[in-house]
Structures are given as C-alpha cells and as structure tokens.
Amino acid sequence: MKRIIVGTAGHIDHGKTSLVKALTGVDADRLKEEKERGITIDIGFADLTVGDVHFGFVDVPGHERFVKNMLAGAHGIDLVMLVVAADESVMPQTREHFDICRLLEVKSGLVVITKADLVDEELLQLVEAEVADFVAGSFLEGAPVLRVSSRTGAGVDELKKTLSQLAAKARERDENAVARLPIDRAFTIKGFGTVVTGTLIAGRIRAGDELEILPPISSSGPAPGRRARARGLQVHGKSTQEALAGERVAVNLQGIDLDEVERGQTLSPAGRLRTSSMLDARLRLLDSAPRGLRARSRVRLHIGAAEVLARVVPLGRMELASGASCFAQLRLETPTLALPGDHFIVRAYSPVVTIGGGVVIDALPSKHRLREAAQAASWLEKLEVADEFERVALLVEMAGERGMDQDEIAARSGSSNEVIKRAAESITKARRAVTASQAPKTALTPLIARPAFEELAGRVRATLKGFHRKSPLESGMGREEIREKIFAHLPPDIFRAVIANLVERNEVVAEKDLLRLSSHRVALSAEEQAAKDRLAALFAEAGLQPMPLEDAIAQSGVDAARAQRFAQMLINSGELVRVAGLVFHRSALDGLRETLRRFKAEHGPKLDVTAFKDLTGVSRKYAIPLLEYLDIQRVTRRSGDVREIL
Ligand SMILES: Nc1nc2c(ncn2[C@@H]2O[C@H](COP(=O)(O)OP(=O)(O)OP(=O)(O)O)[C@@H](O)[C@H]2O)c(=O)[nH]1
Ligand SMILES: [Mg+2]
C-alpha cells in the first residue's frame, strides 16, 4: 500500500479542519482551547484509506501567530491541499503558507475552494481566476482546483478521487535510508509511559529497535543523544511491528521521561547520526522579504520539526538580496539534526515573518572563514547536484589527507550502509580513492582520496630522499620518525596504508624499523670502501678467534665513527654476525657448522666443551659463546654438560 502524507495550508478560518473532517470523519482539533475558540492552534492528524493508498493528513493552523506550529508539520508532506475559502479568496496566510510549500519544494498538490455553498457561481469563478493567477509559475500551476462544501458534502468524493490520482504519481519515500522521525508531539499515556509522534520521513522503525533522541535536551554543543528502545509502535492509532517511511508514527519509548523529549528532536537509529551546529546550504530569499539578509543576521531556522536560532553567513558576499539565492553557512545557536537534502524555512527574528528557506547541502561542514568562501562554494556547487554515490566520493575528497571513515560518511550523508559500501567500492575501483587498510576492513577504515594519498606518498619519498642525501651512510630512516614528521595528526591506518603502498610499488624498502628508497645505495669513497673491506677481512682472517670490534675499528684506517658505521653495515648485510659480545665473520661460522657436521659423521652426535675446544682450537673465552650461539641456531642441543649435534 502506498503511503502519502497530505498537508493542509491556507488562511485562518478558511475551512481546513472542516475539510479534513469531511474527508476522514476525524476532528483534528484535539486541544480543549481549539474547541473553545474554534481555531486550530497546533497541528492535528487524521487518516484515510482510498483504494490502495493510505493517506495521513496533517492539519495545520492558519493563524499567523501559529505559523511555527504549521512548520512543525509541513516539513514532512508529500502533497498539499491549498485551502482557499470562496468567500474570502487569497489572504495573507494563503500566501505565507504557499511560500513555505514552495521553499520546502513540496512536489505536488491541489487547490480546494472551500465554503462553495456560501457564494454564487459568479464569485466562484472570480475566486478560481484569482487562484489561477496566484499559483501561476509554481508547482501548482495547472493543478486541479476543486470546489467543495464541507457543510453539504458537495465535492468531497471528487476530492478523494483527485487525491488518489495525485497519490499515484507521487514519489515513494526511501524505506531503506536511515530512519528519521522528527518528533512533533511528546506526551505520556498512563501505564505506558512516554510516547512521541511524528512523520517517519525516511527508513523504517521496528518495535524493539534501539533508537537515539537527537539532540539531547538543552545541549549547547554536539553531544550524543539519549538512547531508548522502541517498546511499541502505532501507525495512525493501530499497533504494528514495523513503521515505514511516509507513515504517521507514535513510538512508546522505554525508560524515557517526558522531560527528556520535546518537539524538534529527532529519533534515529542509535549511534548512526550526529547533530550539527553548522549547516552549509542553498539559501533563497523570497521576493516578498522586506529587506535583504546581511551577513551574520540572526534568524529563526525551522528544519524538520525543530525551530532554532541561527546566524546566516552568505558565502562570498555581504548581503543576500530579496528574491536572490546563494550558498550560505548557517551557524546554529543550538545543535540540531539535519542531513543533505533537508529543506528548511527561515523566518526573520523580528518581526516574525517567513523570509526564505532552502536546502541543506552539507550537514557537518567546517567553519568557513572569509578567505575560504570561494573554495567552500566550489565544493558546494558539486555537492548540490551530486547523487548519493557521488556525494560519498565528494565527502572523501573534501576530507583530504585525513580521509573519512565509514561511520563519518554515514553520519554526514545519511545514506544506507548498502549505498556507502557500493559507493566505496566504485570510487576505489575508479581510482578516485584508496581504502586505507589491509584486511580486515571495519567501519573505522578510512577512505582517502587518491590525490591526497599520492601527496602523502610524495612527501614520504621526498623526506627519505632528503634523509639519504644528508646521511648517505645510514641504511634508512626510522619508521617512527617518518610517522611523526608527516602523519602525526592523521589516523594510523593512513600511515600504514601509504607505506604499504610504497613498498608494494617497490619504491620504498622496509627493513626492520627502517625505511629507505629502493634506489638508495650507501655510496662510499674508495678510501671508505677500502676501510670497510679491511674490517671484513680482519674478521674473515681471524676465523673463530676474532679480535674485539673496537680493536678492528682502530685498525680500519678511517675514523672510529665511520668505521663503526661500516661495521653496522656489515652486520646489517649479514657479512658479520654478532654473537654475545663478539663479532664473527659469516664464513667462520659457516666453516664451524661444516666442522661439526663432519665430526658427527665420524664420532657420533655427543660433544662436550673440551672436545669442542680440541676440535676448533679455540679457548674457553670463545667456546662458550659459540656453543650458546649454536644452541640458539639449533645446530646443537645442550643436555647437562654434553651437547648433541642435531
Ligand atoms: N458554510 C460553510 N462553512 C464552513 C465550511 N467549511 C468550514 N466552515 C466553517 O468555517 C469555520 C472555520 O472552519 P475551520 O475548518 O475551523 O477553519 P480552519 O481553516 O481549520 O481554521 P484554522 O485552523 O483556525 O486556520 C467554521 O465555523 C466552519 O464551520 C463550508 O464548506 N461551508
Ligand atoms: Mg483548523
């Protein structure tokens, strides 16, 4: 069954509530004060099924003082019934409500001329002509205009039929997107506890779901919301296990007190979305706005069911003129939940009139300073026209070298996991981004745009190049040193990924804790090469009875510091081997292994220290470290005083 939310709009007393009652049998005025005064004060609800369409009605107040209440309901509607009383025609709130519908980009609707029973045909035709003029050039141009009398019932059936036709053409809401329920009412029911209601504008909620209420009451900065389980759900007064986008939903929240929830908060899946204190948006001012909007003007921002005070910073200009549009950053005085694509209304701080509205483009932007306005605007230009997939790519590109993990992509885009996953795959495949981790990938694995990734790789190369130039005798630069120099403020995954990538491309060699360019060769002068060779030769000649390293260094023919480095190079390359405090040439140790192999063949595997000394001709000073070395190398195994040759 298709689910459509229909909103009323129109001037006070033009018959909106009566019309909803004529259609559904429900009096949407539920407050005592509304009944007494005969006017609507707050939004009211009713529903109706026609064929395979389920209509949820949101009836709004027409009084100019209650436009803010009207806005708490108007944000979620698919279809508008613009109500114009035949005896009064177009009036101020007809205009204001209609402006609001246009700014919210309500997609479809119709005009209902109510109180048709009160006037004659001539006047009806006049009103119809006025209405046609009024909606010309808008989304309602050419839309059905129906005459109805809620008193006699004339035209009501025709209206139902027309609503069904419009519903058939209405777009479906995305049930797979992240669920959001802007709360428009909160109350308690004896025996049940706290209940909140709202229009489920996206996704689905199931009984038992863990939800988050954002923002927390009276928070002054971004903070996680209060979490609560949905104990029970009702859609239009009927209990259900699951509510879908486009339905009016009541949620019974477990363990939540009434003073923890209020109109303007939003229910969403726990841990998924984040509140914002700034929004980047396309902002339009109405032609009818009494004056332009100067930079940093204070306005009332209505978004979802929330009203928050905000300052408007038009990007790249000092003032937005009436009738014009531009990119703007809205700086909110209290954080709220919003996502790209959300529409909002802006009302002047004083006098309180609707002056404009727009669409959120980036819900978690950074603060744009004056000189960054042009760059911010160029990103917004791309984001504004991006589809869900492209938005993921752009968000990653905007994040630059910091990259963006999937949790943040989810919070910032509002896209489903499925969309994010597919977008991540396609942009990595298209080589626009790199997934900065080896398996396993988690939600915290950042994606980093390829240019930013290459830039980091380039910096590693340049840093290594500089290092090699400065220290040609060092075999490499410390991994940690590079991390601190280039990646200190970045997620560790990004460091690992950049290094791994350079190694994979054979541009960098990682050896132990050192990194070097693969092209790096330690360049020695003839004198240095001779000294290094001499060191090696001293140990090769000494066999199993080498001199202490310091002595060899002293005989090398170059200064101790350089000789020390050559010794280290020989050790790094494996030509020299450290055994306890001694240094042996590789060939001497290889020879020893061979000697033992032959001994075992002739005399069997048992060998004690004395036999070892006889066999090799070394003193105890060398014999003990050598045997221990052989044990570690698993050439021999010690048991008591005897060793077994393996
Ligand atoms: N004769 C006649 N009277 C009507 C008709 N529709 C509404 N009325 C009367 O007009 C008055 C206002 O009707 P409502 O439905 O309360 O008007 P509303 O647009 O909901 O008013 P607000 O919610 O306060 O903006 C009531 O006294 C209704 O009885 C109609 O079709 N014919
Ligand atoms: Mg009413």
Per the prediction, the chain carries an average pLDDT of 92
Higher local confidence (pLDDT), 294 or 471: 294
pLDDT band at 439 (very low <50, low <70, confident <90, very high): low
Ligand 1 atom, smallest distance to 148 CA: 31
- Pocket of ligand 1, beta carbon within 6 A: 12-18, 38-40, 61-63, 114-115, 117-118, 149-151
pLDDT band at 173 (very low <50, low <70, confident <90, very high): confident
Q: Which ligand has its closest atom nearest to the C-alpha of 28?
A: 2
CA of 111 to the centre of ligand 1 (A): 16
What is the model's pLDDT at position 443? Answer: 60
pLDDT digits (tens, 9 = 90+) for 370-416: 888 999 999 999 999 999 999 999 999 999 999 998 889 999 998 98
Ligand 1 atom, smallest distance to 14 CA: 19
What is the model's pLDDT at position 261? Answer: 94
Instruction: Give the pLDDT mean for 121-125.
Output: 97
What is the model's pLDDT at position 442? Answer: 64
pLDDT band at 174 (very low <50, low <70, confident <90, very high): confident
pLDDT band at 225 (very low <50, low <70, confident <90, very high): confident
Note whether 371 and 348 are within 8 A (CB). Answer: no
pLDDT digits (tens, 9 = 90+) for 484-503: 999 999 988 899 889 988 99
Which residues does 217 contact at the CB level (< 8 Å), separation at least 6?
226, 259, 260, 261, 262, 265
Six token digits for residue 645: 């040759």
CB-facing half-sphere around the CA of 172: CA atoms within 13 A: 9
**C-alpha to C-alpha distances, 557 to 533, 534, 546, 570, nearest whole angstrom:** 11, 8, 18, 16
φ, ψ for residue 242, nearest 5 deg = -145, 135
Instruction: Give the pLDDT mean for 417-433.
Output: 91
φ, ψ for residue 46, nearest 5 deg = -155, 170
What is the model's pLDDT at position 188? Answer: 94
What is the model's pLDDT at position 517? Answer: 93
Ligand 1 atom, smallest distance to 118 CA: 1
By alpha-carbon position, which residue is closest to atom 24 of ligand 1?
39
pLDDT band at 441 (very low <50, low <70, confident <90, very high): low
Q: Which ligand has its closest atom nearest to the C-alpha of 10?
A: 1
pLDDT digits (tens, 9 = 90+) for 199-224: 999 999 999 999 999 998 876 667 78
Ligand 1 atom, smallest distance to 11 CA: 25
Instruction: Give the pLDDT mean for 219-248.
Output: 89
By alpha-carbon position, which residue is closest to atom 12 of ligand 1?
13
Distance CA 517, CA 519 (A): 5
By alpha-carbon position, which residue is closest to atom 1 of ligand 1?
115
Ligand 1 probe mutation, 13, 21, 119, 123, most atoms within 8 A of CB: 13
pLDDT band at 527 (very low <50, low <70, confident <90, very high): confident
Classify residue 292 by burial, with Cβ atoms within 10 Å: 0-12, 13-18, 19+: middle
Instruction: Give the pLDDT mean for 254-281.
Output: 94
Q: Which ligand has its closest atom nearest to the C-alpha of 94?
A: 1
Ligand 1 atom, smallest distance to 83 CA: 19
Ligand 1 atom, smallest distance to 18 CA: 15
What is the model's pLDDT at position 360? Answer: 97
Q: Tell me, yes or no, if the pTM score tops 0.85.
A: no
Ligand 1 probe mutation, 11, 17, 113, 146, most atoms within 8 A of CB: 17
CA of 19 to the centre of ligand 1 (A): 8
What is the model's pLDDT at position 437? Answer: 67
Tokens 């019974």: give the residue: 252
Give yes or no for residue 436 having a pLDDT over 80.
no
What is the model's pLDDT at position 438? Answer: 59
pLDDT digits (tens, 9 = 90+) for 314-359: 998 999 999 999 999 999 999 999 999 999 999 999 899 999 999 9
Give yes or no for residue 34 having a pLDDT over 90.
yes
Instruction: Give the pLDDT mean for 38-56.
Output: 95
Q: If we measure between CA atoms, which residue out of 89, 85, 42, 82 comes closest to residue 63?
A: 42
Q: Which ligand has its closest atom nearest to the C-alpha of 93?
A: 1
Give the pairing type, strands 204-206 and 242-244: antiparallel
What is the model's pLDDT at position 280? Answer: 97
Six token digits for residue 118: 């009160």
Which residues does 23 contact at the CB level (< 8 Å), separation at least 6?
46, 48, 57, 156, 159, 160
CA of 145 to the centre of ligand 2 (A): 20
DSSP letter at 441? P
Give yes or no for residue 467 having a pLDDT over 70.
yes
pLDDT band at 558 (very low <50, low <70, confident <90, very high): confident
CA of 412 to the centre of ligand 2 (A): 38
Question: Chain centroid to CA 490: how far?
Answer: 17
What is the model's pLDDT at position 224? Answer: 80
By alpha-carbon position, which residue is closest to atom 2 of ligand 1?
115
Most trustworthy range by pLDDT among 117-121, 541-545, 627-631: 117-121
pLDDT band at 1 (very low <50, low <70, confident <90, very high): confident
What is the model's pLDDT at position 294? Answer: 94
Q: If we measure between CA atoms, which residue out of 97, 81, 10, 88 comes closest to residue 48?
A: 81
Instruction: Give the pLDDT mean for 145-166.
Output: 97
Ligand 1 probe mutation, 18, 24, 37, 60, most atoms within 8 A of CB: 18
Give yes or no for residue 574 having a pLDDT over 70.
yes
Q: Which ligand has its closest atom nearest to the C-alpha of 149?
A: 1
